Amino acid sequence: MKNQMKCAAGLLPILFAFMGCSKESAQTANLQVRLSDAPGDFKEVNIDIEGVQVNTDSSSASSGWKSLNIKKGVYNLLKLTNGLDTLLGNIQLPEGQVSQLRLILGSNNTVNVSGQPFALNTPSGQQSGLKIQVHTTLKAGITYKIILDFDAARSIVLTGSGKFNLKPVIRSAVEAESGAIKGIVTPMTSTPAVFVINGQDTIASTYTDPFTGKFLINGVVPGAYTVWFSPKSGYQAMGISNVNVTLGNVTNIDTVRISQ
């Protein structure tokens, strides 16, 4: 436990230096969007992805859109088969519903058939935003992953004139990737830093809200942890052992009382 205290104490200056930004992130869910592919009978299927947006307004298809910070470019779908995927981007969102995702395609889409490249004709409506139904509810503190499974075999259509059209067929699946820990500390004036510890390693950390005493530690991999509280001078540090975190759930350790 002494090593745990030293590790936690060493992080205190860094932790309090970033208090302003940590408070905001603790109240949100982290959403990742990843791209995968069902195999098709082609040498290459190159898709030009210019943007990804999610809609957090279930009552409207025209409002509530938020853009992810993504790596724009051309992705060869056939490199993303057999369980492989690639990260397009991620975004921090308030807890609540995500109703749709919009994939914005560029014009540089091609298919390679028997070693010969062909341009993929992409309707302008798809370039402005291909909508994909998601309908999932996010919990604050949890990391989620949306897998976009792009079915190359069904998405590429050979026309009578020998050209190829791109009519994307995409399935989406949402998976929780982590758990979280929350609670309330009294007295609020103790304002402790809170650390999630596994053995000798500090896995995650945050601080309590000085006005409510609440804390939320997000992105915690499922497992059993010690939660260590390091309050300001005048109060005693303490730890809670065997705090179990499960996938997609927020573990509530209720009220923690710090002694003077």
Helix 2-17 with 19-26: angle, nearest 10 deg: 100
3-state class (DSSP) for residue 194: strand
Question: CA-CA distances (angstroms) from residue 152 to 37, 71, 77?
Answer: 7, 21, 7
10-residue stretch averages of pLDDT, the chain, 260 residues long: 47 42 60 84 88 81 82 90 86 90 90 90 68 89 91 86 88 90 94 93 90 91 95 94 94 94
Q: Are strands 96-105 and 130-138 parallel, antiparallel or unpaired?
A: antiparallel
- Give the predicted TM-score (pTM) of the model: 0.74
Domains by residue range for the chain, with CATH: 28-176 (2.60.40), 179-257 (2.60.40.1120)
Tell me what pLDDT residue 64 has: 79
Q: Are strands 86-94 and 28-38 parallel, antiparallel or unpaired?
A: antiparallel
CA 52 vs. chain centroid, Å, equals 14
Tell me what pLDDT residue 58 has: 64
Tell me what pLDDT residue 128 has: 60
Tell me what pLDDT residue 19 has: 41
